[in-house]
Amino acid sequence: MYQSASKSAKKQTNAIGKPSESNIARRVQTETIDYDETEQDLQTFQDISNFKLRNKLITFNKPAKKPIVKDFSAQFQLCLKNENSIKPISGTVKKCQKPQGIEKINTKSLLIPAKTTRQDYSTYTYQNLKTIGSGSFGTVYKSKVNETGEIVAIKKVLQDKRYKNRELQILQELNHHNVVKLKHAYFTPSDNKDEMYLNVVMDYYPESLYTYNKSFRQAQARMPEILVKIYSYQLLRSIYYISLLSICHRDIKPHNILVNPNHHKLQLCDFGSAKKLVKTEPNISYICSRCYRAPELIFGAVNYDNQIDVWSVGCVIAELFNGEPLFLGDSAVDQLIEIIKVLGTPNKVQVLSMNADYDMKQYKFPQIKARDWKKVIKTNDSLATDLVSKLLVYCPKTRFTPIQALCHPYFDQLRDLHQMKQLQEIYNFNIQELFDFSNLETNRMTNDEMKKIIPDWISCSSTKIVKTIG
């Protein structure tokens, strides 16, 4: 849930066309694959087969069985009459996991709390209940505050005393409804005298967007499109906020997005790969999980900006509609081919817009036409398809910014007071938080953007609801 990309992966080759022979990571597995392709698509796959790292593409002779898709539109209308008709699906897909790693932490705090909160967590002790995430970055525990009984998440990482922890520095600066909150941080000793364990106390969320979406697939269904809209809106709000602080997450994926299905609140988490970008400073191009990696990174760009997060968000939204990742490549070059199969072959101008230093001698791509987005995204909502098509664009400068995406008509339903009343009764989410913009956010909006994003039943000065709902 709180995992970040592995830091031990080999560095990606900058020049497309000269990939590493080793397969850097395993291909993401999905439970169902839809092979509803036309004869033209088959010809397209044949054209690009010589460009693949492997000898063959997936065989198309035996299509997989299509999952059963429930009519959630009819279900939604039924729910308007009976608010108890929908129960959180996560409650029916519970995982029984035996608690492990029980230990009581009584170590005194070595860090001053980063922000003033309602409670002083530096005076508390913590008991780890079970492991909820682990990897090369460290371990994440579901823990309990002994003094209050509150459930929190504690991320425990090995820290060299000679260096500062960049993730901690970033978390200390963040304060937003849709970004994970730092409650406290403290050190505990390790076996090596030159190292210590940094323990970061954060909000606990029962599920990630990955596990929640997976629960629908296991039930042979897809997430209701209204929930896709609510989660997409909150996710865009999170990257809009961090972009104003010049912070780039650089590893947005469903695993790093926390959700609470009880009231459908979303928070972006795991800032282990995040960085404050400075225009004059180069950055590594081998970053972000492959299926959500922006094409400019694949082309070896080192002077990228926050638009790489926008691409990742577009991939996440498409995945919520389709039930599986949109671009499934098993190497850097293969990932680019998966993108080309949807967006078409980028022209030379587009390539240089992604990486001005790219060696055009390596530009040897099969000429593939772009597909119709209506055939790519599994929804009948033309506004949703239009939004995704504007988020997944080659050129970072023409790709939608977070604020442009928030202004998109796709989210007008959330700004309609009458519909919001009905949705709140069904899904029990916080209406006010959707439009509770901080001064930092509103000060960077134009008058037109503010008028578009903040409904007239919200006070523009304080973004509080001024008309009684209900």
Contact by Cβ (8 Å): 278, 266:
no
- The reported pLDDT for the residue numbered 397 is 96
At 227, list the tokens: 């929930």
- The reported pLDDT for the residue numbered 258 is 97
User: Which among 251, 270, 309, 436 is annotated as catalytic?
Assistant: 251
- Side chain identity at 152, as an amino acid letter? V
Count CB atoms within 10 A of the CB of residue 349: 9
Contact by Cβ (8 Å): 314, 217:
no
**Hey, what domains does the chain have and what are their CATH numbers?**
1-94+207-470 (1.10.510.10), 103-203 (3.30.200.20)
Distance CA 236, CA 225 (A): 16
Q: What is the CA radius of gyration of the chain?
A: 23
**Nearest one of 457, 435, 451 to 230, comparing CA atoms:** 435
In the structure, how many helices (H) and strands (E) does the chain have?
16, 11
- The reported pLDDT for the residue numbered 262 is 92
Query: CA 356, 361, 364 angle in degrees (round to 5)?
Result: 105
Contact by Cβ (8 Å): 455, 413:
no
Tell me if 156 is assigned to a ligand binding site. Answer: yes
**Nearest one of 240, 403, 255 to 315, comparing CA atoms:** 255
Residue 448 catalytic?
Answer: no
Residue in the structure block whose two tokens are 């760009």:
301
Contact by Cβ (8 Å): 464, 297:
no
**Mean pLDDT in order along the chain per 10 residues (470 residues):** 42 41 34 40 47 41 40 46 37 34 36 52 93 84 95 92 87 96 93 89 94 94 95 98 97 96 94 93 94 96 97 98 94 92 95 92 86 96 98 98 98 92 84 91 95 82 40
pTM for the whole structure: 0.75
Q: What is the end-to-end Cα distance of the chain in Å, rounded?
A: 36
Contact by Cβ (8 Å): 325, 291:
yes
Identify each DSSP E strand in 252-320 by its residue range: 257-260, 265-268, 275-276
